[in-house]
Structure 1
Amino acid sequence: MESAMSDAMTPEPEKILLVDDDPNVLSGYVRQLRYRFKVDTANGGAEGILKVRDAGPYAVVVSDYRMPLVDGLSFLCAARESSPDTVRIMLTGQAEMQTAIDAINKGGFFRFLIKPCPADVLIANIDDALRQYRLVTAEKTLLGKTLRGSIEVLTEILSMSSPVAFSRASRIEKLATGVGSQMEGADLWEVSCSAMLSQIGYVTLTPTLQQKVALKEELTVQEQAELKRHAGATAQLLRRIPRLETVADAIRWQDARFDGAGSDEDVPVGKKLPLSARILKAVIDYEELAGQNWQPAAIIDLLKSRQGVYDPIVLLALEQQLLAHGEKLKSWRLREFKIEELEAGMILAEDVHALSGLLILPKGHELSELSRLRLINFHHVGDLAGVIKAVVPVVANPAEAV
């Protein structure tokens, strides 16, 4: 058991790709390196491009410069496009020294080595390249965790200050991420963040306006204008957080029409609109109609009838996601729970009001640990009844739950 756990915790060794058009040279590299590194080979630049694309990621690629059809410079530049984090080393002859120097200046290569390259020199440089790769990937992992932490804090603040907006954002995020999963080239992290943070600007609205929006009451012209400004307020806030610029743009343009009608001059049009913004536009409008008890098929028909408003490909992905989601709805059931039985991930089946009349959490809210504790606190001070209705997933095969 301990051995199995130890193996599971041991990180997978990083892969090294060696590229040369001479099979004998490749065989020699493998003999020299296979006991120290996890080695893969490619016979020429064209095969190397396919390997990087289909068999990666590689921590380090080492390529000869002089190869037919696709030379080392072309291959390594292509590898950079496909796998930006991969560290690249080029092997070159003495006569090609200036070419190698120019290539490094142009392509940002890590090292170039003169052929023939002794095994100990090659090994030492690959070790250096691996350290560089680990540094880059560790920094990206740390940044990713920092961003996720920032986003979680923002959404938790929204859940406490405007439960209705948070619940709406949660529904938008689930559907938008599903739509993104149906589309080739969608950055699901960006789509998810854009959707989850799209309602942060609601904290700038007056309590009266938030209540009218929650109750779907008719808004005055001034209130409609105030509501529309929340997207800009959110984008301005997010631009202060490094690496969230694309998320901020998606939220800023979430109301933009696909054909650009009625948009300001600086708003992109058509495919130039960020895909996340195009997804948000369709999903937010869908959610608005769903909140008015429209049936999914009727909503899709209405959205399709609005010529030029939405990206047709996004509408198709939305329709596909709704069909898939319709099947999943069968795996949920309604139950009543005591307050202390509630768990994060459960979805409220009705509005939860305090005995004083205050709306604590709205119907459809997915409980987080923080919102669950909020309900417990209201219950402890005697301002909340002891039973809550929620929907929970049903395990199809009871044996799977063991």
Structure 2
Amino acid sequence: MKLPFRILVLDDDEQALSGIVELLRDAGHHVTGAATYDAAKRLLALGTFDLLVTDVRLRAFNGLHLVMQSRADHPDMAVIIITGYDEPMLEIEAGRYQAAFVRKPIRPAEFLELVSNSLSNVRRQRRWPRKRVIGGFRVTAAGRTAAVVDVSYGGLRLELPDRGRLPETFDVEVAGIGLHLEVEPVWTVPSSDTGGTLCGAALAAEHTPAARTWRAIVDRLTA
């Protein structure tokens, strides 16, 4: 039996919030609604969610603020941002966090399809759970020395020393064994602790000799 996905919905319009929550529950998901930014922030501090659905305009805040603040603690959470406006700059910024945009009015069938697509990577993470690397190890990523924070069969989370932009795909070299992995950045967020960048990256191809070697490394690192 498949576990239902856990979805957090944030909207300060109670009627809109109720409608989205009901639509997602009818689709079989476990849904929690929040009517304020602070309430959603508390819920994210207390638990984990597979998907965050948030309105972009929340009085003094916007939904992207919540995504930025929560990404480091919820690296695999999918995000959908709802907007009633044409906001190209916000849409570009949201792309850094792999957030999908949907415009009002919401069309139920199209919205549920977007939800399903957004959760597709979460399904993979459920098959390949992340495991934190105790003590860490270093790799060369996009030509820079980076620390590995956690790993899974499908990818890794890196801490890079600067805030330079990453290409759509880049090479990760595991020193000493000559392993090169082609990865795709799923999300990036500035690190307030180091001044660098945290990046969640997925293997560009899962069925290659390099990917099989990587999975063997993951097994050894987390044994």
Q: Secondary structure of the residue that 1:57 maps to in structure 2?
A: coil
Once the two structures are superposed, residues 325-370 of structure 1 have per-residue CA deviations (whole angstroms, 9 ceiling, x without a partner) of: xxxxxxxxxxxxxxxxxxxxxxxxxxxxxxxxxxxxxxxxxxxxxx
Pick one of 30, 33, 38 that aligns with 1:38.
Answer: 30
Q: Secondary structure of the residue that 1:63 maps to in structure 2?
A: strand
Pick one of 31, 41, 66 that aligns with 1:49.
Answer: 41
Matched AA of 1:93 = G
Deviation at 1:123, TM superposition (A): 0.8
1:100 aligns to what?
90
Once the two structures are superposed, residues 128-173 of structure 1 have per-residue CA deviations (whole angstroms, 9 ceiling, x without a partner) of: 11112122443445xx5xxxxxxxxxxxxxxxxxxxxxxxxxxxxx
Q: Secondary structure of the residue that 2:101 maps to in structure 1?
A: strand
Matched AA of 2:61 = V
* Counterpart-to-counterpart distance in 1, 2:147 and 2:97: 25
Alpha-carbon contact 2:64-2:94 (below 8 Å) kept: no
* Counterpart-to-counterpart distance in 2, 1:120 and 1:246: 38
* Counterpart-to-counterpart distance in 1, 2:81 and 2:17: 14
Provide the aligned length of Structure 1 versus Structure 2: 145
* Counterpart-to-counterpart distance in 2, 1:246 and 1:101: 28
**1:49 to 1:124, Cα distance in 2 relative to 1, 3 A:** same
**1:94 to 1:135, Cα distance in 2 relative to 1, 3 A:** same
1:126 aligns to what?
115
Which structure has the highest strand share of the two? 2
Structure number with larger C-alpha Rg: 1
Deviation at 1:94, TM superposition (A): 2.9
Deviation at 1:115, TM superposition (A): 1.0
Taking structure 1 as the reference length, the TM-score comes to 0.32
Matched AA of 2:127 = A
Once the two structures are superposed, residues 246-268 of structure 1 have per-residue CA deviations (whole angstroms, 9 ceiling, x without a partner) of: 79xxxxxxxxxxxxxxxxxxxxx
Matched AA of 1:29 = I
Alpha-carbon contact 1:46-1:70 (below 8 Å) kept: no
What are the within-5 Å matches in structure 2 for residues 127-276 of structure 1? 127-141=116-130, 144=131, 190=134
* Counterpart-to-counterpart distance in 2, 1:239 and 1:14: 34
Alpha-carbon contact 2:52-2:77 (below 8 Å) kept: yes
Matched AA of 1:40 = T
Deviation at 1:119, TM superposition (A): 1.0
**1:64 to 1:244, Cα distance in 2 relative to 1, 3 A:** closer
Alpha-carbon contact 1:63-1:89 (below 8 Å) kept: yes
2:18 aligns to what?
27
Alpha-carbon contact 1:89-1:113 (below 8 Å) kept: yes
Which structure has the highest helix share of the two? 1
Q: Secondary structure of the residue that 1:83 maps to in structure 2?
A: coil
1:289 aligns to what?
none
Pick one of 94, 98, 102 that aligns with 1:113.
Answer: 102
Deviation at 1:11, TM superposition (A): 4.4
* Counterpart-to-counterpart distance in 1, 2:127 and 2:102: 26
Once the two structures are superposed, residues 81-102 of structure 1 have per-residue CA deviations (whole angstroms, 9 ceiling, x without a partner) of: 321110111011233x213323
Tell me the C-alpha RMSD between the 2 structures: 3.0
**1:49 to 1:246, Cα distance in 2 relative to 1, 3 A:** closer
- Give structure 1 stretches of 5+ with no counterpart: 1-9, 145-186, 195-237, 248-271, 273-402
1:343 aligns to what?
none
Deviation at 1:244, TM superposition (A): 8.4
Which structure is richer in relative contact order (CA contacts within 8 A, separation 6 or more)? 2
Once the two structures are superposed, residues 96-126 of structure 1 have per-residue CA deviations (whole angstroms, 9 ceiling, x without a partner) of: x213323224x32331011111111111111
* Counterpart-to-counterpart distance in 1, 2:111 and 2:125: 21
* Counterpart-to-counterpart distance in 1, 2:13 and 2:79: 19
* Counterpart-to-counterpart distance in 1, 2:147 and 2:84: 44
Misfit runs of 4+, over 4 Å: 242-247
* Counterpart-to-counterpart distance in 2, 1:88 and 1:110: 5
